[in-house]
Amino acid sequence: MKTRGWGSVLLAYPAAAAVGAALVAAGFAVAGVIVQAINGMTDQILAGLWITPVAFLYAFVVFLVGLAVIGTPVWLLLVRMGRTTRRDAVLAGTGLCVLAGAASIAAVGEPMASWEPWALAASLAVPGAAAGWTLHRVAYGR
């Protein structure tokens, strides 16, 4: 399977980063609303949403750098192996995002014996899968 050209490949990176970042930001928004509701601060539900644009910008940069530094070599390896289907892109995005999440959690010194770091790393599977799907869709087309 061939890409639609260098222009499509270059557009695929920010598109995939934007989709992944949007899902991460949506997760932050939902968590913010839930925390406000649990704490009985239903009159300040919208106050829990202040982090959403910041989370999007930060996640966009993280996804874009991750795609460039880690995703590109993996993509090239997959192409060399003849694994260029959308399913392969989704699986690569999922796996790389979960591994990157686990590595970053371990790097800050969080004890990996508890379940919370693993749950956080696993929650990155959906944004990673969506980023992989988007990258493939933009770069290869249908």
pLDDT in tens, 63-73: 999 999 999 99
In a domain, residue 142? The reply is no
Give percent of the chain with pLDDT exceeding 90.
62
In a domain, residue 127? The reply is yes
Q: Are 13 and 134 in contact (CB under 8 A)?
A: no
In a domain, residue 1? The reply is no
Q: Are 45 and 36 in contact (CB under 8 A)?
A: yes
Statement: residue 37 has pLDDT above 70: yes
In a domain, residue 111? The reply is yes
Q: pLDDT grade, residue 1 (50/70/90)?
A: confident
Which residues, other chains included, contact 132 with Cβ-Cβ below 8 Å and sequence gap of 6+?
A: 16, 89, 90, 91, 92, 93, 94
Domain that holds residue 120: 6-137
Statement: residue 48 has pLDDT above 70: no
Domain count, the chain: 1
In a domain, residue 97? The reply is yes
**What are the pLDDT digits (tens) for 90-111?**
999 999 999 999 888 888 887 7
In a domain, residue 43? The reply is yes
Q: What pTM, to 2 d.p., does this model score?
A: 0.88
Q: How high does pLDDT run on average in the chain?
A: 90
**What are the pLDDT digits (tens) for 124-133?**
999 999 999 9
In a domain, residue 55? The reply is yes
